[in-house]
Amino acid sequence: MMLRKENQNTEFKETWHDEYLKWICGFANAHGGILYIGIDDDGNISGLPNSRRLLEDIPNKIISLLGIVCDVDLLVENGKEYLRITVLASNVPISYKGTYHYRSGSTKQELTGIALQEFLFKKMGISWDNVACSSATLDSLDDKAIKYFINKALKSGRIPAEMDIYDKTAILENLNLMTPEGCLKNAAVLLFAKNPQRFFTAVQFKIGRFGKDETDLLFQDLIEGNILQMADRVIEILSSKYIIRPVHYERLERIEPLEIPEDALREVIFNAIIHKNYSGAPIQMRVFNDRITLWNEGELPVGFTPQTLLEPHSSKPRNKNIANVFYKAGFIESWGRGIRKIVDGFKTAGFPEPEFAIKDGGLFVTIFRTQVTEQVTEQVTEQVTEQVRRLLSVLDAELSVREILDRLNLKHRPTLMVDYIQPAMKLGLIEQTQPEKPKSPTQKYRKKR
């Protein structure tokens, strides 16, 4: 027999125990596989003395407890009998006594929580954004956000000019954002809600400015609100606090473009927003002197790798309804060209190509800042002053104004407020927890969480 070795599709067990039905369940829920009974972990045949009885018992247990049919074959080598159980991938979810298992790599995992939800949606051919959000109503939506979409979509020419832009229900139905029963779908809430965080806590975009490494957080911002206008807000905050606008002149006109190609940067942000797993963590952008990284949670489609994204490929958006609205608004193309468009945008502008990798269950993008000048360093130094750094160093708990004054060895409250607390508050580094009376020394502050 060929050299035997366990892998993602092969598992060895020396003897049979009914709990191994979990492994069969895991293979069926993944890509199929083979379970050998009577072979040790090193691939040596140990043999089964009761192989004939198991040949009859195991198929019956698989059918009764898993509801699937598997081929169970009796094999013989050097006089030793062993079993081969061949499991085909199932196109419906398979459970074992109410629990779901999945073969990932060479291990079996029990699926729970968000992972289970994602698995069930995928098996049933449902995208999360297509599910009804029963607690949301039409009153939950922001008319200004819908008007923003209509203006963009009319300008792009991707909705008919004769559409009734005053009939909110008709607009949502046309965009496939309502169920046949008239309930709003998750996508409608994410795209247009006044406060989508009320329904989904992960509708957030975090930006942090870092110094020497990821442990050196200087200041940060948290962008919330509907995802349709989120990219605009992100670009606005980035250009005001995080990245520079080098000045040059074309004849008499003063030109201040972003240091990074704005269209390509916006495409990176759109990609993160559209393909995010909204049951997971917020989108996270880290800005360093020499690079910007962006991470959004959400696995790539099955069989896709970062290299696949750079090549011609079919479009397989995680959130189909969200992608459709972004397309009709003219923000993206619909043919899986997003990553290629990002790369081409940076290359055309003379920048290094961004790097793409899979990290912590999501797509991790690295953009390189080529204009690492004194202006970048000064941008951070000007905002995070020595006084702010001193304040952060002593603010290891919730402290009153009096306690902070004592720790910083300061005598005058106005000096503390103007040079220390107010700049730190403006940068989002600290927060006031107990306002008390105005100008009261019992006011308390802590580092922002």
Report d(CA 448, CA 428) in Å as an integer: 7
Predicted confidence (pLDDT) at residue 252 exceeds the cutoff of 80:
no
The pLDDT value given to residue 390? 85
CB neighbourhood size of 295 (10 A): 22
Percent with pLDDT over 90 in the chain: 53
The residue with greater pLDDT, 365 or 336, is 365
pLDDT at 426: 78
What is the overall mean pLDDT for the chain?
A: 87
Res. 143 pLDDT band, cuts 50 70 90: very high
Q: 150 falls in which pLDDT band (50, 70, 90)?
A: very high
Supply the pLDDT for residue 378: 53
pLDDT of residue 394: 87
At 1 the pLDDT is 44
Which is nearest to 10 in space by CA: 107, 75, 123?
Answer: 107
Band (435; pLDDT cuts 50, 70, 90): low
pTM here is: 0.72
Q: Are 295 and 363 in contact (CB under 8 A)?
A: yes
Position 174 scores a pLDDT of 92
Predicted confidence band of residue 36 (pLDDT cuts 50, 70, 90): very high
**Measured between alpha carbons, how far is 69 from 256 in angstroms, rounded to an integer?**
66
**pLDDT at position 415:** 86
Q: Is the pLDDT of residue 239 over 90?
A: no
Band of the pLDDT at 272, cuts 50, 70, 90?
A: very high
Segment 413-428 shows an average pLDDT of 85
Is residue 2 pLDDT above 50, yes or no? no
pLDDT in tens, 337-383: 788 889 999 999 889 999 999 998 899 999 998 765 555 555 555 56
Q: Does the structure show a pLDDT above 50 at 248?
A: no
Tell me: pLDDT of 213 over 50. yes
CA distance 13 to 83: 10
pLDDT, position 449: 62
Evaluate if residue 3 carries a pLDDT over 80: no
Average pLDDT for 200-212? 91
More confident residue, 357 or 280: 357
